[in-house]
Structure 1
């Protein structure tokens, strides 16, 4: 059956190349990926997948399935592009890998009494990925494993990611005031005070805990200050409970400044938070073995990323992998650049897509064939959950 999977993938390699190229040539911003979403849905429908469009009332999300019963093997498609930059992180290839894996695994599913292949179309990864909403809505509770791979400049096994908690603080003056007016604090004064205070507050954080991406928004007039000023930033920590502890301090600071300056204020979460990614070593081992079997042998140690991943939230509900696959032949190319985006439609990248899709599909096959492997993955998952149990964040 492994050979059938590999052989079938070679028969659809042009389709996968065309998919990668279409997404590359039609980059769409987060949650506006209409062309990309339709292209993927049509491919799945043409291969007899049952597709639910507008999934969870997210216009560019979908839920596709083939087969019935357990185990349920889920593949993830991401397809948004960076605003004005295109596919600089290779989301077009994530979709090609997952579509290739799901279509090829479907060709051998008839050999099993039960089993379901699920493909999730997950828009908006650049801004509060839809996977977080899907997790909160229970999408992953009946799924056995989630498999995906991410393009990169090196091969690496699944590591951890950071927990990310977005925060927005708005201060409101009673009226718009002139810069020269004395005896009164403006909303901008409050945001500036918070901005400077956070720099000192960070000195007391635990290792690898930080606040970044601080932006102050105010009116555009050089003379008249707006009634409202807003401060946005991200609390980034190895574990979500650490972010929650920092958030409590930020709330106290915001309240104190409001009292000192006699200003109203609002504090909120402008985007969905991302939990840290919990890697599943058993599932990673199975995939890494299959990756070597198809010819990608130079994998390195697990990659821990400073970025936040929406898959992190998913990994607290179901076993996941998020390995990294080099798609560049020229080692001078940097990740998240226009050169990297161009590399995604090279013949070298297409070869990596085929091999990675093969490994993803064969990993699904292993879990369908060998109940003991799936049991091993799940036992580790539940042990990990006990260790990573987060303290719940209170609502802002």
Structure 2
């Protein structure tokens, strides 16, 4: 184990390194924001990130884990492997209303700050491009396919209206429910039809009534994605897309069973059949690493930010993320870096506009700096370094 702290890894030096790349990082963020792409279709965004990292000395492998828009950019060859995760998919119609352009630029900025001192710290820096967080579970697939096998710690930041260090999330089931009936003329021969849209209505009523008996933390919400073609044709096909969420995977399993009874009731009541299909792999709840959380809190506070109090962090989970699956296996954090969003929240068009403001650009710099400083402290702390390495060995 090396002794002492490399001078280049001082807090001021890390801040200077990120600040020196400010214009490039902001331009990268704005470029990704300007061309939003959906899950598994982020070809332009991934190409921009790959070109940026290659141009700064990273060894980049593309299309990893059989995912065309995933990549792995590496610098250094130390025994302690640290992953900085970049997301860059957008939302249908409202673009980067979740601010993934900020996530990507922050991960890259942290990687740039760590690269020059990787050898001195004995670390390998990996900026891993993880597609399809909004839908598709890119990280789940990459985890299953071995991308994270030798990773000792995984870190990222997500933008939001406030700074939340120990952010939590809910487990998620992403499902599609298709009802199949039989067409008939809605006026001349309705008795020959079996109305799939009615099956949706019955199922929706069942789900609405179920809400009163949901356990704390359980949620369900969805849309009707198909419901017929013309008013005078009894619909033979209808579809719902639903998200089911819960504090834990076990609670989610219970909710799924109860919701499936509502779907079955819709089919039974209308003489239709139904099929439940998994759209994305199940997302697990976030399990942030306590030591990394505490260190990130100190570092982001040192940058002049005021995270929400610890006792409030778990009071409102931040939806669901496939980063939860990573943190179930690998020590990691998924803090929220705050920006001035004018009162808007993620997944609103106003937040998409806020994701390229001066406040958002500062969030990139602060997020990258706090991430890099957290990694440095892990690399220089003998006990934590040993803990993280032992975790890899156990896996």
TM-score (norm 2): 0.87
**Deviation (angstroms), 1:269:** 1.1
Quick one: distance in 1 between partners of 2:293 and 2:391?
12
Structure 2 unmatched runs, 5+: 1-8
**Deviation (angstroms), 1:253:** 4.5
Confirm whether residue 243 of structure 1 aligns to residue 252 of structure 2.
Answer: yes
Quick one: distance in 2 between partners of 1:68 and 1:10?
25
Quick one: distance in 2 between partners of 1:351 and 1:254?
47
Quick one: distance in 1 between partners of 2:322 and 2:274?
29
Render the CA deviation track for 1:227-267: whole Å, top value 9, x for unaligned.
22223212111112112112223334444554555433222
Render the CA deviation track for 1:355-380: whole Å, top value 9, x for unaligned.
22111111111111113124567899
Which residue pairs with 1:386 in the alignment?
none
Which residue pairs with 1:119 in the alignment?
127
Give the one of 198, 214, 218 matched to 1:205: 214
Confirm whether residue 129 of structure 1 aligns to residue 137 of structure 2.
Answer: yes
**Deviation (angstroms), 1:214:** 3.8
Which residue pairs with 2:317 in the alignment?
305
Which residue pairs with 1:342 in the alignment?
353
Render the CA deviation track for 1:157-194: whole Å, top value 9, x for unaligned.
12211111122222222x42222412653222322221
Render the CA deviation track for 1:250-288: whole Å, top value 9, x for unaligned.
334444554555433222112222111112221100111
Render the CA deviation track for 1:190-219: whole Å, top value 9, x for unaligned.
222212112222333212312211425222
Quick one: distance in 1 between partners of 2:39 and 2:258?
31
Contact 1:282–1:380 at 8 Å: present in 2 too? Answer: no
Which residue pairs with 2:162 in the alignment?
154
Q: Which residues of 2 match residues 186-205 of structure 1 at below 5 A?
A: 186-205=195-214
Contact 1:157–1:300 at 8 Å: present in 2 too? Answer: no
Q: Which residues of 2 match residues 281-320 of structure 1 at below 5 A?
A: 281-301=290-310, 302=313, 304-320=316-332
**Deviation (angstroms), 1:7:** 2.2
Which residue pairs with 1:366 in the alignment?
377
Quick one: distance in 2 between partners of 1:297 and 1:380?
31
Q: Which residues of 2 match residues 101-112 of structure 1 at below 5 A?
A: 101-112=110-121
**Deviation (angstroms), 1:98:** 0.7
**Deviation (angstroms), 1:102:** 0.6
Confirm whether residue 325 of structure 1 aligns to residue 334 of structure 2.
Answer: no
**Deviation (angstroms), 1:145:** 0.9
TM-score (norm 1): 0.87
Render the CA deviation track for 1:100-130: whole Å, top value 9, x for unaligned.
1011101101214x42111111122222231
Quick one: distance in 2 between partners of 1:165 and 1:57?
23
Contact 2:171–2:248 at 8 Å: present in 1 too? Answer: yes
Quick one: distance in 2 between partners of 1:344 and 1:226?
41
CA-based RMSD of the aligned residues comes to: 2.7
Contact 1:128–1:273 at 8 Å: present in 2 too? Answer: no
Quick one: distance in 1 between partners of 2:19 and 2:144?
37
Give the one of 23, 34, 38 matched to 1:25: 34
Quick one: distance in 1 between partners of 2:262 and 2:18?
56
1:107 alignment partner, SS class: helix
**Deviation (angstroms), 1:40:** 0.4
Confirm whether residue 9 of structure 1 aligns to residue 9 of structure 2.
Answer: no
Q: For the structure 1 residues 40 and 252, does the alpha-carbon distance in structure 2 shift closer, same or farther, using more than 3 Å as the test?
A: same
Q: Which residues of 2 match residues 39-188 of structure 1 at below 5 A?
A: 39-112=48-121, 114-173=122-181, 175-180=182-187, 181-182=190-191, 185-188=194-197
Contact 2:167–2:336 at 8 Å: present in 1 too? Answer: no
Q: For the structure 1 residues 194 and 368, does the alpha-carbon distance in structure 2 shift closer, same or farther, using more than 3 Å as the test?
A: same
Tell me the number of residue pairs that the alignment of Structure 1 and Structure 2 aligns: 380
Deviates more, 1:16-25 or 1:301-310: 301-310
**Deviation (angstroms), 1:323:** 1.1
Quick one: distance in 2 between partners of 1:320 and 1:33?
24
